[in-house]
Structures are given as C-alpha cells and as structure tokens.
Amino acid sequence: MKFNIFKNRNFYILIVLLVIGSAAYYFGTQNTESSSVNKTLQLTTVQIQQGDLEKKEEYNGTLRQTNSKILNSPISGVVTFIPEEGTIIQFGEILFAIDNKPVILVEGSVPFYRTLDLNSDPGPDILQVEQALIYLGYAADSFVADDIFDQTTSDMLNKLYIDYKIETKSEVTPSEQVAINLKQTEVENIEDTIDSGGTTITEVNDKKKKLDDAKEDAIEENAAWKAADTAIKDAEESLTLYRDETNPKTKEKKADGTLDAAIEDLEQTIEEQKRIKALEKGKESGIDATEALAIETAQKAYDDTLKEYNEGVDQVAELAKAKEELEELKLASRSETFSPTNAYASETPIIVGSYINKVGSAVVLNSQLYNISSIGIEVVFQVDASDQETVALGDNVEIELPTDERVPTVITFIDQVVTQTQTGDFIEVILEVLNPEEIEAYDQAPVKVFVTTEISQNVLYVPVNALIALAEGGYALEIYDGEVEGSTFEGESGVDTIYVAVEIGVFTDGFVEVIGNIAKGQLVVVPR
C-alpha cells in the first residue's frame, strides 16, 4: 500500500478548492446583500503571523513497544512469584522468584554472566552492580562506583541481600577452614624444598656451551680446507678493491697497464682455491668414536643440569600458584557473593507481558516464564524510495497519536534496502518516541507521521480559510482595520474591510504563506 496518497500537497489542494467555493459564495453575498441580512457564515478575525513555516508530508505509521522478548528462568525450581500482566517493573523491583529466591531488575546493558566476589577480576559487570547498589540506596554518599569488587562492594551486597531476603554469606565455615589449612601446609612444604637449594641458569648455559663446542670440534674441516677458504676470502677482498675506481692501487695499476692482469690473477686464484676446498671437504668432518663419546658426555651433563633447573623453576611456579589459591580461599571465606541468578540487567524498566508459566509451575534452567518488553516506544513507517532524501538519521519528527496528542520523535533507523511491492518501492524508517513514559500508548496502534520537507523562514502566514478566490484569478485577504481579534465580526465587507491581493507559498498544518502588501499583526476576516 502506498503512503503518499495522504501527503499534504494533495490534501491542501482539496482544502483550497473547498475554501475557494465557500469564500466565493461569501464574497458574492457580501456584495449583493445589505449588512442587515443574516450572513450564512459566522465570521471572526485573526492576526497575520510572521515566523518560520514548515512544509510537512504526512505518512501512516505504526506504534510499537521496543525490545520485546521472553524472560527465562536462570535456575530450576518452582515459580513462587510473578508480577501481574501489564505491570511496569521499575529498577530495584522483583521480576520473579523461583523457590522464593527473588531476581531483582537493575539498570544496565551488560548481561550478568559470572559469579562475583573478592577474587573476581575487574570488569564492567562489577561497575554495573555497584551502580545498582548506589541507585538502590546501599552506598555511602562518598562511594564512587568502579570496576573492582572490594570489601565495600561485599558489605553493600550483604545489606541488600538481607532486605530482599536473599541468603547471605555467613562466617568462615568448618569446611572452608579445613581447605585453608590444607593449602597452607602445601605452601610451607614447597617453601622448604626450595630453601634446600637448586640449579642456576648460569650452570645450564655453561653446560650448553660445552655441548656446542664438542659438536663443532667433531665436524671441523682440515687445515688445507681452512687455508683454501681463507685464500678465497682474501682474493675476493682484493678483487673488490681493484674494481673500485677511487682506490689508489687501482689507479696505480691502471696507469702502468697491470690492472687487468692483476684482476685476472685474482680470479684464477679464487677458482683454484675453490677446487682445493671441494677436494678437501669432509676429509676430517666425520665424527669418530672419541668425538662421539665427548658429545654424548656433554649432552648428558647438559640434560641433567637442565632437568634440575626446570624442577626448581616448577617448584617456584608451584609455590606462587599455591599462595594465590590460599589467598583466594581466604577471600572467598569472608566475601559476599553476587550470582548471575540474583539480578537481571535492562536499560529501561520492563513491562510484564503474557504468562508462559504461572505461579506454582515447576521449571528447569532457561524455562520460559513470561513475555516482556521495555517501556521504550518506537514508530515504524514507510517512505517512497524516490522520497528517501527527505529523511535523515537524527531528524526530529512529530507524530499524532490516536488520542490526537502530538509528541516528538527522532529518526533512529533508515533501511538501506529498498522493499519492492506491486504498489511501489519503499524504504522503512524507525522513529524513537522521546519521553515515552509521559504518554499512554498501545502496542501496534496506528499513528500519523509528519515529516518536515521544506522550511520557509520568517514569512507572513494566515489560516488557509482566510484565502478568498478572486474572479479574475489569484487570491486575496479581507483586511479589517479594527483592533479586536477573535470576536465575532459584525462589520460590512467593502466598507469596514478592504481586499488585498496576495500570492501564496507553503501550505502546512492549516496555514499558508502569503506575500503581498500586508504586514504582521493586521487583522484578517475568516469564517469562525
């Protein structure tokens, strides 16, 4: 279905035609009848206004609640409390209870996913819990929320649990004390082992160097191969120098004509020494029995030293881990604990929808309890694809509710995909209703959407029904040179009033821009 059939330009053309007809009738009767004859229309006067006039297009939209979903049970048990359908649950109120264990609604956007206590790593969920404790009145005036669960957080939680009849953390239990004692003994035993001494990293590195030296000695080439290798490097270095035009020896040999010969001798030397290296390669690189034994001995010494060192390192790491576990046991024994089953985070209060399970129902983990939605309200409507330039994210848009109340909204979503139908191509636009808590609206209610498409600034304007159609074409205003606005007009047209021709501009909301020999504040005769 197309939504442009009710756009203002068509709607106001109809209005103008009606006005022309009634105005022409009125104008004719004013000229043909005396002032003593009863008028067919009761008249009044209004002032010519000056200001910004917005041209608006009207669309049909649908109002709906946001974030509709199903609330699930975080634990198994029997449902012992659910609010009545339609109830708005505010922050700090109970969403439901399983086995008389209440779940509290708190403000936040981070889902609760882990148990929190004095051992917990910092995180946004801790900040969210502390902000909820502040909101609910459990924090001192000087307390500042952060992402660290400390003793203050634990103490505040304890007070909340007492008020909401949630099971609190007691003093250190006998089983907790036994676990602490066992871990303390483990720490002391590891410390005694480390104090008895151990292997250092310097010793490990020394054994590693001896092993590398033994391997290198075993595979080292003979003297002839080494001499040839050295000769090649020396010849290549000299050859590089002779090929350098800035080298004094190069210039000298080039001057006496011996440079080419010297370069040729070096190239021949390099080739000859390469042949020697090839012939001598590997003659003494094989590992004999004596060399193999030396390598084996060095390898065993290195392996034994490394093993002793690693055992010492493992003991140090084991000690650090045992101490950390001991501290966690001590903290847990005196910390109040926040469970993800204690609270539910939402960015807005929640509206209780239809039940899925009722009080007395036995439920398991993630069982569906009831439908919920936020108190947020949005409006969805469609714009012709050809008119998509008339809307932009962040634009303010006015809507009219079924109660005729007009409320402000803002564009929060414009679909980038065009929807194609038999009646045309459209794009979907979503508006967020500002201050939704101040209006009474129903889900899926039809609304009118007014999108501003043009603004005429600082213009003169009058009600549309002030326009009078002239016989020769165009429009006029009937100006009354009086001082009373809004009262019944009892004067005589053409005697107490004059007609001033005007041009018309933007139509919107029952008003029309007028241009002519007129001024702000002048009184215009209009039908009441």
Q: How far is the C-alpha of 299 from the C-alpha of 286, rounded, in Å? A: 18
Q: What is the pLDDT of residue 368?
A: 96
**For 70-115, what is each residue's pLDDT tens digit?**
999 999 999 999 999 989 999 999 999 999 999 999 999 999 999 9
The mean of the pLDDT values for the chain is 83
Q: How far is the C-alpha of 229 from the C-alpha of 207, rounded, in Å? A: 31
Least confident of 15-19, 185-189, 318-322: 15-19
Q: Which residues pair with 456 in a beta bridge?
A: 53
The alpha carbon of residue 483 and the mean position of all alpha carbons in its chain are separated, in whole angstroms, by 59
pTM value is 0.48
Q: How far is the C-alpha of 512 from the C-alpha of 509, rounded, in Å? A: 8
Q: How far is the C-alpha of 436 from the C-alpha of 407, rounded, in Å? A: 9
Q: What is the pLDDT of residue 31?
A: 45
Letter for the amino acid at 160?
L
Q: What is the dihedral of CA 483, 489, 492, 494, to 10 degrees?
A: 60
Q: Which pairing describes strands 88-89 and 368-374: parallel, antiparallel, or unpaired?
A: unpaired
Q: Which two three-digit tokens encode residue 247? A: 């080298």
Left, alpha or beta for 428 (phi > 0: left; psi -120 to 50: alpha)? Answer: beta
Per-residue pLDDT, averaged over 409-415, amounts to 92
Is the pLDDT at 236 greater than 70? The verdict is yes
Q: How far is the C-alpha of 338 from the C-alpha of 168, rounded, in Å? A: 10
Q: Which two three-digit tokens encode residue 493? A: 């047209």
Sheet containing strand 368-374, strands side by side: 69-72, 368-374, 350-355, 88-89
Q: How far is the C-alpha of 429 from the C-alpha of 63, rounded, in Å? A: 12
Q: Count other Cβ atoms within 10 Å, centred on residue 126.
A: 22
Residue 511 parent element (H or E): strand 511-516
Angle between helices 201-218 and 289-334 (to 10 degrees): 150
